Amino acid sequence: MADPAPLARPAAPSLESLGLRRNRPLVIVDVDEVLGLFMEGFGSFVGEQGYELRLDRFALFQNLFRPGETEHLELSEGRRLFDDYFHTRCHEMEPAPGAVEALRRLRPHAEILILSNAPPQAERLRGQWLARHGLPEALILSSGPKGPITADLVAQSAGPTAFVDDLLSNLDSVAEHAPATATFQHVADLRLRSLAPRSDKHRRIDDWTELGAAIEAVIRT
C-alpha cells in the first residue's frame, strides 16, 4: 500500500552487500499487499485500538474511522497507528496465498530482493517475518517512488530484471527510471482487487502461481 511519509532517498546498497550475485537475473518484490496481507493485519491491529478499517477505496488513511462516524480519522492519528503497527505488529500478518511457494520456485533462476516502503523501525520485525515464512532475507526498506532505487539496483545486474508492486505509482516510477525492467502489478487482498486501479503499461496478475510463471518466463528469455 501507499508510503505515507516519503523521506530522502537512501543510496542503493551493492548487490554483494545483500548477498546477491550480479551475474543472475534480479527480481525485486514489494511486501505489503504483494507478499503479505497488510490490510488484513493492519485492520486487526486498528480494531484492537478501537477504530475501524473500512475498505471503501484503494487507500490507507482515508479508510480509517471511529466507530459510527462517517469522516475518516485525522491524518496525524492515522499516521500514528501506521507507525505503531510497524513498530510492534507488522510481523504478524499472513503471507499472500501462493507467494512463498512462487518465490521458492523462482530462486533457482534468479536473485530475489525485497524492496519495501516501510518506516525504519520495521526493519527487525519485517526481517523476522520474511525469515519465518522462508522468504528471501535480502531486504531494503525505502520510501517514496521506487524507480530511482530500482534503477540503481538493476544497473548492477547483468541479467534480465523484474519488479512486482501493488501501486501504480511505484510501477510507473520503475518504468520511467528502469525501462528495461519487466513490471507486474499484484494485489493480494481479495477485497482490494476491484478497488485497485490498473494500467495497460503493467501486467496485472493477482494469482501468485500465474505471476510466478510469468516472471520466470521473462527472466529466462
C-alpha cell at 128: 523476522
d(CA 139, CA 123): 8
- Determine the pLDDT at residue 167: 97
- Determine the pLDDT at residue 11: 72
> Same domain for 79 and 152?
no
For 46-86, give the DSSP string.
HHHTT-EE--SSS-SGGGEE-TT-SSPPPHHHHHHHHHHHH
* CA 212 to chain CA mean position, Å: 15
> Same domain for 191 and 99?
yes
Enter the pTM of the model: 0.93
Count of domains in the chain? 2
- Determine the pLDDT at residue 9: 52
What does each of the 221 residues of the chain score in pLDDT, given as a tens digit? 655 544 445 579 999 999 999 999 999 999 999 999 999 999 999 999 999 999 999 999 999 999 999 999 999 999 999 999 999 999 999 999 999 999 999 999 999 999 999 999 999 999 999 999 999 889 999 999 999 999 999 999 999 999 999 999 999 999 999 999 999 999 999 999 999 999 999 999 999 999 999 999 999 87
In-domain check, residue 59: yes
In-domain check, residue 186: yes
> Same domain for 105 and 211?
yes
d(CA 25, CA 216): 10
Domain range holding 44? 39-92
- Domain boundary (63, 92, 121) is at 92
| CATH code (residue 121) | 3.40.50.1000
d(CA 166, CA 175): 14
> Same domain for 102 and 129?
yes
The 10 Å Cβ neighbour count of residue 191 is 11
H-type alpha helices, 89-207 = 99-106, 123-132, 147-154, 168-177, 190-193
> Same domain for 122 and 22?
yes
> Same domain for 149 and 57?
no
- Determine the pLDDT at residue 220: 87
In-domain check, residue 62: yes
